[in-house]
Amino acid sequence: MSPAANPVIVGIDLGTTNSLVAVCDERGPRVLKDAAGRGLLPSVVRYIEDGRAQEVGDGARRHAREFPRTTIASVKRLMGRSASDAAADAGYLSYRVVEGPNRMAVVRLGETETGATVSPQEVSAAILRELKARAEAALGASVSRAVVTVPAYFDDAQRQATRDAGRLAGLEVVRTVNEPTAAALAYGVGLRQRTEETIAVYDLGGGTFDVSILRVTPGEPGDASTDFFEVLSTAGDTHLGGDDADHLIVERLSAGLDRAALTPGDAAALKAAAEEMKIALSEKDSVAREVALSTGTVSARITRAELEAMLGPWVEKTLLSCRRALRDAKLTAEQIDRVVLVGGSTRVPLVRQRVEEVFGKPPYTALNPDEVVALGAAVQGAVMSGDVRGMLLLDVIPLSLGIETVGGAVAKVIMRNSNVPARATEMFSTGVDNQTGIKLNIVQGEREMAADCRSLGEFHLRGLPPMPAGIPQVEVEFLVDANGVLNVSAVERRSGQRAGVQVIPSHGLTRDDVDRMEREALTHAKEDMQRHRVVDLIANSRLDLKWIAERLDKVRPHLEPAYMVELEGAAAALRDLVTRAEADWRGVDANAFHRAKEALDKASVRMHEVSIARTLSG
């Protein structure tokens, strides 16, 4: 055991709605979870009236309606602001905001003037203390330094208040980083920068919307110092976010109810149900819910299309801000090189779709949008403690990337050691008749079978018109950009149906992992090759046998008996090999299998000729 040379610097996203802590080590950035596996900590603190913090996080959030005057949410809105300045925001808060020392905004707990006051710094410190404890438990080491993120528009007083909150929590805030800069850093932007780039960061959270235009300029080669992020413009709305979507759903759920008769508990139940429905609709096309209220039960079904109709104007408002930010930066949408999505609300498919339309390019979505700011703060922490050298920041693709095919083999699309950026396409088809959807599993590794590789993610290409097996033409494109972000898209040529997904192939991989996977591939090379060949032969032979049997049914009376014996003999031989290979892929001779398939191909030529001649003669 030797003491760590560089005490870790964690990254903290101190959010209006949720906060989280992350660390960046040789596995890259990752969020630190609590014992129950939760990463997000609701930024809510419940006090008792004498000013002692009672509960932080989920518990406090659950009690918010019950104790509206002593449960402090969204305190970030008050950080470093004077009472008069914060007055407009105070109207949105359930607790009382009064003037404290130096005219600053503070919270008065409870209803009476005798209630204690707490400063926004103290409330934030309670959240930071919780995150510090969580990080220490997860890392098994004491944590005393952090990079904390702040909105790009925060002024000096607001940044200083954030540092003070850290100090109260026993954390030295070694740097405050702009949230959009952190989001870009999480994607590796700036860390291996060779050319100047312009980035738009679109951040739609629970109660706020921010869009920032950043310019990144390359620093010294090999020096990951991040001083070259410049904020060109910011725009947004401090009262627009996921909460608005929840309210719209609450209105819908409570349409026929007497609102005056609803208790605070009812309101809380409606809001919780609304948020759940909204989140479910980011995945599903329709969701039904029953909510038990003091006056009875309400039930409702909402479809994705209905939600999108409700949210249309809400999304368009954010796009207006995007246009303003572009105008302020004196740029057009085409001049933006990358778009980064941040905030839980960017999981709403309509948001992704509209942002893509406005900027004319697919946005970065590979990382969790509610984690990306904390992850970037952790990257900044690693840069500052010198740890970033251990991170897998590569100019080449360390392990091959491919797609799982019928039978479980891997079709490699991009080979290992290809330079980034890299692009490649490959054609695929279906293995079963009338398949209307295809699951595409993206894998990484050098082994020949998908089960022996690392699955990076999967997606479904849906809505294909029913066609015989082997007929659909699915073009799959792999595109790894300069930051190592992989975009996989699939399009079926006949129907034009498309789908895609984005992942980061190096995420969670260490140098050692790469070396090990390479070694394993070498050890198993011969066996793997045999298996891949046999699995492909089985899939292709099955299709051939099926096509031939179907044709044969139609033209049998027009073929000579001697030829029929030859053809059926070749088919039977191949069928036998398929059966044996399926039972034991090791036991078949792949060369003999291949020859049997060729023999059937050759034998079937005459049948195809007769079949075509008959079709032509009507």
Active-site amino acid positions: 13, 76, 179, 203
- Asked if 18 is part of the footprint of ligand ADP (rule: CB under 6 A), the reply reads yes
Report DSSP state, residue 104: B
Residue 429 makes contact with ligand ADP by CB under 6 A: no
Asked if 279 is part of the footprint of ligand ADP (rule: CB under 6 A), the reply reads yes
Residue of 65, 175, 278, 597 that binds ligand ADP (CB under 6 A): 278
Between residues 234 and 345, which has the closer beta carbon with respect to ligand ADP? Answer: 345
CA distance 363 to 440: 21
Cβ(345)–Cβ(275) under 8 Å? no
Q: Are 252 and 302 in contact (CB under 8 A)?
A: yes
Give least dist CB 78 to Mg ion, A.
Answer: 16
- 121 CB burial (10 A radius; 0-12, 13-18, 19+): buried
Residues 498, 358: Cα–Cα separation, whole Å: 19
Task: Check residue 368 for interaction with ligand ADP (CB under 6 A).
Answer: no
How distant is the alpha carbon of residue 479 from its chain centre? 17
User: Pick from Mg ion, ligand ADP, none: which does 80 bind, CB < 5 to 8 A by kind?
Assistant: none
Among 15, 57, 190, 363, binds Mg ion (CB under 5 A): 15
**Candidates 199-207, 377-385, 537-545, 603-611; binding stretch for ligand ADP (CB under 6 A):** 199-207
Nearest to 24 by CA among 372, 371, 380: 380
Q: Is the CB of 39 or the CB of 398 nearer to ligand ADP?
A: 39
Q: Which of 42, 120, 205, 484 binds Mg ion (CB under 5 A)?
A: 205
What character string, x for contact with ligand ADP (CB under 6 A) and - otherwise, covers 227-266? Answer: --------------xxx-----------------------
CB of 41 to ligand ADP, least distance (A): 10
Return all residues near 220 (Cβ < 8 A) that are at least 6 apart.
Answer: none
Query: Closest residue to ligand ADP, Cβ-based?
Result: 242
Q: Which residues of 94-104 are buried (b: 16+ CB within 10 A; e: fewer)?
A: ebbbebbeeeb
Question: Is 208 or 506 the residue whose CB approaches ligand ADP more closely?
Answer: 208
Residue 208 partner contact from ligand ADP, Mg ion, none using kind-dependent CB cut-offs of 5 to 8 Å:
ligand ADP
List Cβ neighbours of 232 (8 Å cut-off, separation of 6 or more).
198, 213, 214, 215, 328, 329, 331
Q: Of 8, 9, 12, 17, which lies in the binding site for ligand ADP, with binding defined by CB under 6 A?
A: 17
How is residue 468 written in tokens? 């015989």
Q: Could you say whether residue 11 binds Mg ion (CB under 5 A)?
A: no
Rounded-to-integer distance, Cα 165 and Cα 171, Å: 8
Interface residue with ligand ADP among 71, 176, 181, 208 (CB under 6 A) is 208
Structure tokens at 328: 């302020």
Tokens 């209905």 sit on residue = 306
Residue type present at position 20: L
Decide if residue 347 touches ligand ADP (CB under 6 A): yes
> Where along the sequence are the contacts to ligand ADP (CB under 6 A)?
15-18, 205-208, 241-243, 275, 278-279, 282, 343-345, 347-348, 370
> Where along the sequence are the contacts to Mg ion (CB under 5 A)?
15, 205
